[in-house]
Structure 1
Amino acid sequence: MFGVLSVVGFAATQSLLPRIVPRPLLLAANARIDQSDAAAQTVGPALGGALVSLVTAPFAIALDVASYFVDAVLVARVRVEERVPMRRARPRLRRDIADGLRWTYGHAMLAPLAFSTHLWFLANAAGLTVFATLALRTLALPAVVYGAVLAVSGVAMLLGATAAPRLGRRFGAGRTIIAARGAYPVAWAAIAVATTVLGQSMPTASTIVLFAAFAVQGVAAGCENANEMSLRQTATPDELLGRTNSTMRSANRTLAAVGAIGGGALMTVAGGGVALLVVTVVFVAAVVVAVRSPLRTAQLRQHGE
């Protein structure tokens, strides 16, 4: 239930922003949202752990539930003038789904962006699944160190999101996305070396490499996400935004689930080293798809132009 509602909710959020913010300001607006997300993802786990220690797990979960109600109230207070769509005699879900698929995968720039992003979700989910097992079982990292490695990615994402608008304006949104995507295979190759080559024989070096790799990945995520979202929002007509975002969100989450299962299965059959090598190759494929497309010259119209 949570998965279904999150897909609907995030697709609606991504479609609402262009109706509140002028399109030339979307890059800055998306970057600010990413900054908030990164801060929440960094502080949230630590706060959750502290609450569990102070007031027990059930009460901490109750506070989490309450936070979603606060979220709903805040969103409900947003005032936006919605254009009333033309009413159909018979609304057809299949037609709406087909419209979203047709626009997303038929657009010269959005299609390769979508396929590259799908590959990213596939590889990222597989990589995190394999990494969790290797870090906690093979390397026997203490829980606090494992949590810190993941948390550094959130801090780095905050820095990347802060730089995203400036990079998008200077180099172009498409090139910024491609450059950020290029950082992922480098980071995951380093993670593979840290977990399977350095391993327990050089624990200090392994831990340092892991911190650096997840920091690189976090900066890349912060740099690219606002630019990707802004490109999608500016390239899509208002009446298709909801369907396009739903198409992307559904496909991405489906492939993330496939990646998590596939990563675990591949690790079981071939070992962690091979699994991380495959993850790195899939990240490279995501870069290749983006490079060999109109995305490399994609620009966003800036405020005042």
Structure 2
Amino acid sequence: MKLREHRSFVRFWIASTTSSFGTYITTLALQVLVVSNMGGSAVDVGWVSASRWLPYVLLGLIAGVLVDRFHRKTVLVVTDIGRGMILTFICFMSITEVISIGLLMFLLVLFGTLSLFNDSAYQSFVPQLVPRPLLTRANARLEQSSAVAETSGPAIGGGLVSLIGAPFALLFDALSYLFSSVLIASIKHQTSKKVKTGSLGQQIKEGLRWVYQHQYLRPLALNTHAWFLFHSMTMTILVSIFLIELGFDALLLGYVLAAAGVGAVAGTSLSSRAGVRFGIGRAMAFSRILYGPAVILMALAPAANNSDSSYIALMFVIIGQLFYGFAMGIEGPLEMGYRQYVTPSHFQGRMNATLRSINRSAVVIGAPLGGTLADGLGFKTALWISIGGLILCGLWFSLSSMRKARIEDAEI
């Protein structure tokens, strides 16, 4: 059976694609709003960005329990409407010039809280829309849309901000969330089994035990936490290298980062076939190993001393970005599909929230750690440290029990 025959999933995919584009537009519009409209500094931009992710660190495990207690479609609809209303409020407050950095941060903490619950329900909702054998393919379609949005969303956002201004660009995203809520509300799906009532602490422990005592989920989770730490370090250091050592301007930086999105689109196109042919574990192990060499290519890019070295540096960086994005595209749908396949319905919210919250916590640690190492040791030394971490993650994954994991062998 083909995915397009599942009309509920098609509606969900359209809703997800629409909101994904809106999310990348909002990310750029908020940065412009802080700097250009509000006269903020780079530090203000950092605090505003961090405020969106703070709820993931503080409330992630609680969100998983609550999502398992409620109908996931209801959570998705309510959180989409709520996020649309918050962005509309920010737009009108910006137009009337009554917004401040502190108030914006407060509103974005609320926005991030709704996004946390939406993300937990979103990842747990897919198994209710398609049969389990189609989970990897369904996640590949969702990842493809996300990769396209990541590639073109910032460019669209830049055009919108230039054309109508940052506040109205946020309003555009608000409309995308409202459109998404209408589509999801119209979805007919098989309802999930609700979690039996119990203490919050007990249910959090049940979710943690499920993830960290599972034969394959445990090594997958621990390795992914470490990967997020070194990935966030790497991305922080690379952007500084591109702008300072290689002399890229903002426009060229955007094109370079978009190369990873192109690679991700290619990777997601092959993800399902790679999982079937080689097994999910081996295909993911290949991806984890590929990250290190991809960043090594970028680390070897020569400093921009003349036009020839600039072209060589650009070639090294683009090829490295393509491979890095390709690895992410291969493993993303496989990891999500496997997690959803082996996890019972009543654990889906807690499983997804547990992994997402700890992964986001690793980002909160890794990004400033990368910047600190770069300031103290130099960009290239710090980058080679993060490369070493990515290589260790690849070797660790390849030697773990997860390497042998196959969907067809999983117990449900």
How high is the TM-score relative to the length of structure 1? 0.93
2:336 & 2:141 partners in 1: Cα distance? 12
Q: Are the aligned partners of 2:225 and 2:362 in contact in 1 as well (CA < 8 Å)? A: yes
2:291 is the counterpart of 1:184: yes
2:270 & 2:281 partners in 1: Cα distance? 15
Letter in 2 for 1:45: P
Give 2:333's aligned residue.
226
Among 351, 363, 388, the residue aligned to 1:256: 363
Among 24, 34, 47, the residue aligned to 2:143: 34
Q: CA deviation at 1:298?
A: 1.0
Among 237, 244, 248, the residue aligned to 2:344: 237
Give 1:47's aligned residue.
156
Q: CA deviation at 1:162?
A: 0.6
2:195 & 2:259 partners in 1: Cα distance? 48
Write out per-residue CA displacement over residues 112-147 of structure 1, whole angstroms, 9 at most, x where no aligned residue.
111111111111111111111121122220211110
Give 2:168's aligned residue.
59
Write out per-residue CA displacement over residues 38-86 of structure 1, whole angstroms, 9 at most, x where no aligned residue.
1111121111111112112221121122212222222222222314436
1:179 & 1:113 partners in 2: Cα distance? 14
Q: Are the aligned partners of 1:115 and 1:286 in contact in 2 as well (CA < 8 Å)? A: no
- In structure 2, the CA distance between the partners of 1:86 and 1:261, relative to structure 1 (3 Å rule), is closer
Give 1:276's aligned residue.
383
1:224 & 1:245 partners in 2: Cα distance? 16
Among 97, 120, 125, the residue aligned to 1:16: 125
1:268 & 1:6 partners in 2: Cα distance? 33
Among 402, 405, 411, the residue aligned to 1:295: 402
Moved more, 148-157 or 293-302: 293-302
Give 2:232's aligned residue.
125
Letter in 2 for 1:199: A
Structure 2 residue matching 1:301: 3-state secondary structure: helix
Highest RCO, 1 vs 2 (Cα 8 Å, sep ≥ 6): 1
2:236 & 2:145 partners in 1: Cα distance? 26
2:260 is the counterpart of 1:153: yes
Letter in 2 for 1:146: L
Give 1:72's aligned residue.
181
Letter in 2 for 1:292: L
Cα RMSD (Å): 1.5
Q: CA deviation at 1:241?
A: 1.2
Moved more, 293-302 or 209-218: 293-302
Q: CA deviation at 1:217?
A: 0.6
- In structure 2, the CA distance between the partners of 1:181 and 1:87, relative to structure 1 (3 Å rule), is closer
| Unpaired segments ≥5 residues, structure 1 | none
**Identical positions, percent:** 37
How high is the TM-score relative to the length of structure 2? 0.70
Write out per-residue CA displacement over residues 146-180 of structure 1, whole angstroms, 9 at most, x where no aligned residue.
10010111111111101101111101111000001
2:251 is the counterpart of 1:144: yes
